[in-house]
Chains A and B, each alone.
Chain A
């Protein structure tokens, strides 16, 4: 797939804090790229530089063929941004905010009317459309912020923690709407520190830490890249013999086996979905009855821990 954004050597310093540190990254046309990292990793700063809201200290990026330094006006025409903090000093109503945004982005009166209604309805905000924004809850404000971009349908949508503060039912609905936006041809950059959200939505995930890009790939590849990341716990009716343990160790995907209890084996392996049936076959053939089996795949949490040496919680704490 061709790339729509090429970031090269992008750097932003605030005084002596290096918020984004020589970042190189490409975003493919039509994908959802998850930008994952703990607080202060530099996600928002990267986004604001791409959107030409703040100027890079060093390096640059091209967006849709336009350089963000040389052609900022062309670049801005391609973007729509859901900000981390909803932007609404308006002292007005959700309907006004979304409608004004659509107007500035050049939607025709008729299309605007229809789309604003459609989107506010699907975000459960239609009945609140005439409320003063100060009377809205945090989650409702975030919904209004999202509505702007969903109405706009920009070529590239940037969503900064789109579901922070939104309830569980709302989260799934928003995710579906973002997927639909991609399916209709938009490219999405999703900044988040929620691993589950990144996993659920992203076609590829870029992990950032302290302003640097650690790794970027599909969630599946990232998870598979952790050697022995999958864990299978098998409980047997009888104690496991040394012979059967040896037998299981012969599978090339199995990295390690721990005999937790005489009758419980914990296997660290790769490609759990392919290996487990083979293991079961072997056990059945050898006449070793199994009481229960428990599998877990690595999460992006493990991926994050693998690349940073920290769990995301630890990283949050150690960041400034």
Chain B
């Protein structure tokens, strides 16, 4: 029920959703098509497909982050107090909200992923299902992270900026946009971060699931990124519960 509410809430932002979709499409047809003409190195023979799959993950990430902004909106309108007063445990509340936030971004990104699959082509059904499952967990984890950070920071302006910074760090330093080998070559430290990054895991698994990864490098063991994503999801859901509980009940949100 908590889940249902968050999903419905998200789809109230019709304008935003449409703009996002336009953004996605124009990224593909403009940036993707043009940039891929420029990039033609040995590691990446077909940057366009690589880019489209990475873009899907990035969009999923930013849609899942969105729930953090809802938290501020709610704090401002005092809806928090209402949610906290309901006969629902804190664990159910945070889990419900992470899942709601993740699910809604999934529903939202779903058609875009389908579109990008259409562009990418090949699908291996079993791998694809595993990848899909991983993306689910990934989006729940990102929502959980967003909630956790929102609750810790308690100021929407600072949250906005921090999310920008995080976006720059987590997303840019991942394999969403460029293969690990390239990142590694640029700076070993960057490579280290990218190698230990849920966005990379999600992107790698997605490419592995859709079968495009094999063209660039072979994902030695899909289990590793999968475990990484599960850990990511688990940490932020459970840390989220604790922090949600501690911070919010202290009051002082006005």
Q: Which residues 210-243 in A have Cβ within 8 Å of B in the complex?
A: none
Q: Quick one: CB contact mask for B87-115 with A, threshold 8 Å, 1 for yes?
A: 11100000000000000000000000000
Q: Are B87 and A51 in contact (CB under 8 A)?
A: no
Tell whether A83 pairs with B88 under 8 Å between CB atoms, given A89-B73, A90-B9, A92-B8.
Answer: no
Contacts of A196 in B (CB 8 A): none
Q: Are A105 and B86 in contact (CB under 8 A)?
A: yes
Q: Are B89 and A73 in contact (CB under 8 A)?
A: yes
Q: Are B251 and A52 in contact (CB under 8 A)?
A: no
Q: Quick one: CB contact mask for B1-27 with A, threshold 8 Å, 1 for yes?
A: 110010011001000000000000000
Give chain B nearest CB distance to A95 CB in angstroms: 13
| A123 at the binding interface (Cβ < 8 Å) | no
Give chain B nearest CB distance to A160 CB in angstroms: 11
- Residue A104 contacts which of B9, B88, B249 (CB distance < 8 angstroms)? B88
| B43 at the binding interface (Cβ < 8 Å) | no
Q: How far is the CA of A90 from the CA of B70 in the complex (A)?
A: 11
Give chain B nearest CB distance to A26 CB in angstroms: 22
Q: Are A54 and B250 in contact (CB under 8 A)?
A: yes
Closest residue of chain A to B91 (Cβ to Cβ) is A73
Residue with the greatest number of chain B CB neighbours at <10 A, chosen from A87, A90, A105: A87
| A140 at the binding interface (Cβ < 8 Å) | no
Give chain B nearest CB distance to A150 CB in angstroms: 16
| Chain B contact surface mostly | helix
| A27 at the binding interface (Cβ < 8 Å) | no
- Residue B85 contacts which of A53, A85, A100, A103 (CB distance < 8 angstroms)? A53
Interface size on B, residues (CB 8 A): 23
| B160 at the binding interface (Cβ < 8 Å) | no
- Residue B81 contacts which of A53, A76, A79 (CB distance < 8 angstroms)? A53
Interface size on A, residues (CB 8 A): 27
Q: Are B87 and A77 in contact (CB under 8 A)?
A: yes
Q: How far is the CA of A55 from the CA of B73 in the complex (A)?
A: 22
Q: Which residues 69-84 in A have Cβ within 8 Å of B in the complex?
A: 73, 76-77, 79, 81, 83
Q: Are A104 and B78 in contact (CB under 8 A)?
A: no
Q: Are A14 and B87 in contact (CB under 8 A)?
A: no
CB within 8 Å of A: which residues of B?
A: 1-2, 5, 8-9, 12, 73-74, 77-79, 81-82, 84-89, 249-252
Extra pairs beyond A53-B249, A54-B249, A87-B82 (17, CB < 8 Å): A48-B251, A53-B84, A54-B251, A55-B251, A76-B86, A81-B85, A83-B78, A87-B81, A89-B73, A90-B5, A90-B9, A91-B12, A92-B8, A101-B86, A103-B1, A104-B88, A105-B87
CB within 8 Å of B: which residues of A?
A: 12, 14, 48, 51-55, 73, 76-77, 79, 81, 83, 85, 87-92, 100-101, 103-106
The 6 closest A-B pairs by CB, nearest first: A87-B82, A55-B249, A54-B251, A77-B87, A89-B79, A53-B84
